[in-house]
């Protein structure tokens, strides 16, 4: 198994090196920003890393999905893509950063991704996945899972129900509404692509995906719809060993289209508190997005279209925040030397057991105030995270970038080899697919990124326990994942 692209580089050839160079060159050419040569080179390196790792996974990978390639691509999207297409990064006061600072941010991203990849290569695997249990294949077991998935969907449609057990039970209710149904969705999708799904499986899968997309749009969270697309794309990749190119060509424009209407939706239904049905809210969002884009195209406003794209990129861009941290640390804000990681231990204890335990948001709150993003008076209404990568620099400087990201890579590699190996079984695969989405959300800081992972896994297995059985001997054998040449 290979995650990180450092072996046999000369055999890669143009098929593995040329596409990232061409894509970066095109983005550089159309970019309205002033980009130095060294910045452009580092941005290209950030794209070469996932592309090369993806090619090696296609040809020889033993995991269901190319975990490192997806994570590295997320870092490219957060640090390199905004360099080309977003507005030039500025600090909270609106002032631009020095070119040297932007270069250092890109260097930090490259170092962090490389360290993470090396950590993922360490062959930690304390549990042999072929010996782990799986869900029963009986009709009764799947009817139980259908009911759990339906209950979670209903729960997700009512945000106020997530607090019915108080703050101590919020994590459990959130898992019931999100992680558990997503895991069952992943299992159903795997059965579908493998040709073992029943008619009831196909109906349940289709109804669940459609319901979650509508509920997500109606609640003002586009992430719910996007997460469904990511799960289905990952399942497709696990079966066919290639990206679902057609789906990506549909999803990315859809996300860009909807993103511009989000502010109008939240202004009406969140700030003003207007009520409405699910379909009314979804229709409002669609119409708001259509009006924005229609105005741009009708007036042939090139600057306006670029502004809308920038608005979409701002949600995932970490480049400005990282540059702000690098300029102020340790000149204005001293290194934290692990202080922000103190919340990691607390997250391992359920809030139901420790109601007054520190919140993972406390690390975010310190960051927001110390680096000038939010005043203390507004902390209750704003939550901004800077991501594990930049947080590692906040704590230990350049040594932290390499060391912390290496440790995170160790955890991610263990996660991949346990839940997403070829012989992990349907249950573990579903859990892995449901949780990998959160791991791709790299703007979360460490306490939130990895702290609740074990709890989520435990909750999902506890709910699935009534239908979990020992795997048959024939099913405990390693599953050979087909190799495919990089087209």
The first and second tokens of residue 390, run together, are 């930049």
* Domain edges within the chain: 135-313+462-475
Q: What is the mean pLDDT of residues 147-159?
A: 84
Task: Please write the tens of the pLDDT for every residue from 165-189.
Answer: 665 566 677 778 788 888 999 999 9
pTM for the predicted model, two decimal places = 0.84
Task: Please write the tens of the pLDDT for every residue from 114-145.
Answer: 999 999 998 876 666 666 788 888 888 899 99
The first and second tokens of residue 234, run together, are 């990952």
pLDDT at 457: 84
Q: Are 355 and 283 in contact (CB under 8 A)?
A: no
Q: How confident is the model at residue 70 (pLDDT cuts 50, 70, 90)?
A: very high
pLDDT at 476: 43
Q: Are 108 and 322 in contact (CB under 8 A)?
A: yes
pLDDT at 2: 46
Most confident of 45-49, 61-65, 459-463: 45-49
Q: Which of 465, 433, 395 minimizes the C-alpha distance to 136?
A: 465
Beta bridge partners of 134: 469
pLDDT at 271 over 80: no
Q: How confident is the model at residue 111 (pLDDT cuts 50, 70, 90)?
A: very high
Q: What is the mean pLDDT of residues 428-438?
A: 88
Q: Are 347 and 447 in contact (CB under 8 A)?
A: yes
Q: What is the mean pLDDT of residues 267-289?
A: 72
Q: What is the mean pLDDT of residues 40-62?
A: 89
Phi, psi angles (nearest 5°) of residue 268: -80, -50
Q: How confident is the model at residue 483 (pLDDT cuts 50, 70, 90)?
A: very low
pLDDT at 4 over 80: no
pLDDT at 213: 80
With H, G, I as helix, E, B as strand and everything else as coil, classify residue 96. Answer: strand
Q: What is the mean pLDDT of residues 285-300?
A: 71
pLDDT at 279 over 90: no
Lowest mean pLDDT among 25-39, 133-147, 457-471, 472-486: 472-486
Per-residue HEC secondary structure of 277-346 comes to CHHHHHHHHHHHHHHHHHHHHHCCCHHHHHHHHHHHHCCCCCHHHHHHHHHHCCCCCCCCCCHHHCHHHH
Q: What is the mean pLDDT of residues 44-68?
A: 88
pLDDT at 56 over 80: yes
Q: What is the mean pLDDT of residues 399-410?
A: 94
pLDDT at 454 over 90: no
Full DSSP string of 377-392:
GGTTT------HHHHH
Provide the strand spans (E) within 347-477: 468-469
Q: Which of 361, 360, 479, 340 minimizes the C-alpha distance to 422?
A: 479
The first and second tokens of residue 73, run together, are 């691509």
Task: Please write the tens of the pLDDT for every residue from 194-246.
Answer: 888 899 999 999 998 888 887 777 776 666 667 778 888 888 888 888 888 77
Considering the chain, what is the average pLDDT of its residues? 78
pLDDT at 217: 72
For the chain, the first-to-last Cα distance in angstroms comes to 20
Helices then strands, counting H and E runs in the chain, come out as 21, 2
């Amino acid at each position: 198994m290979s995650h990180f692209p450092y072996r046999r580089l000369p055999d890669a050839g143009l098929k593995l090196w040329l596409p990232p160079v061409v894509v970066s060159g095109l983005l550089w050419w159309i970019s309205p920003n002033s980009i130095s040569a060294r910045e452009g080179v580092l941005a290209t390196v950030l794209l070469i890393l996932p592309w090369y790792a993806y090619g090696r996974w296609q040809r020889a990978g033993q995991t269901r999905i190319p975990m490192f390639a997806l994570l590295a691509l997320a870092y490219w999207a957060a640090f390199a893509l905004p360099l080309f297409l977003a507005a030039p990064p500025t600090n909270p006061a609106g002032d631009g950063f020095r070119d040297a600072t932007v270069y250092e941010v890109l260097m930090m991203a490259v170092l962090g991704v490389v360290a993470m990849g090396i950590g993922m290569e360490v062959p930690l695997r304390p549990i042999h996945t072929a010996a782990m249990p799986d869900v029963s294949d009986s009709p009764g077991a799947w009817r139980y899972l259908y009911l759990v998935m339906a209950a979670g969907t209903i729960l997700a449609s009512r945000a106020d129900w997530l607090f019915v057990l108080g703050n101590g039970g919020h994590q459990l209710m959130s898992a019931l509404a999100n992680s558990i149904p997503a895991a069952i969705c992943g299992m159903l999708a795997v059965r579908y692509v493998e040709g073992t799904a029943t008619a009831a499986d196909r109906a349940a899968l289709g109804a669940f995906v459609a319901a979650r997309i509508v509920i997500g749009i109606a609640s003002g969270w586009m992430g719910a719809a996007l997460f469904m697309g990511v799960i289905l794309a990952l399942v497709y990749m696990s079966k066919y060993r290639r990206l679902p190119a057609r789906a990506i060509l549909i999803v990315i424009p859809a996300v860009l289209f909807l993103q511009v209407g989000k502010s109008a939706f939240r202004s009406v239904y969140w700030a003003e508190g207007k009520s409405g049905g699910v379909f009314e809210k979804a229709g409002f969002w669609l119409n708001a997005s259509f009006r924005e884009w229609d105005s741009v195209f009708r007036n042939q406003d090139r600057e306006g279209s670029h502004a809308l794209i920038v608005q979409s990129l701002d949600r995932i861009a970490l480049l400005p925040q990282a540059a702000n941290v690098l300029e102020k640390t340790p000149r204005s804000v001293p290194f934290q030397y692990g202080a922000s990681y103190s919340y990691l231990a607390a997250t391992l204890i359920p809030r139901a057991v420790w109601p007054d335990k520190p919140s993972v948001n406390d690390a975010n709150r310190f960051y927001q105030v110390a680096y000038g993003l939010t005043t203390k008076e507004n902390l209750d209404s704003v939550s901004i995270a800077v991501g594990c990568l930049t947080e590692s620099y906040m704590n230990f400087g350049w040594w932290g970038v390499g060391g912390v990201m290496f440790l995170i890579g160790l955890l991610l590699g263990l996660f991949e080899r346990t839940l997403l190996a070829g012989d992990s079984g349907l249950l573990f695969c579903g859990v892995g697919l449901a949780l990998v989405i959160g791991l791709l959300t790299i703007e979360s800081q460490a306490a939130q990124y990895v702290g609740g992972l074990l709890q989520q896994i435990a909750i999902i297995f506890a709910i699935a326990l009534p239908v979990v059985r020992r795997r048959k001997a024939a099913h405990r054998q390693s599953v050979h994942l087909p190799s495919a040449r990089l087209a």
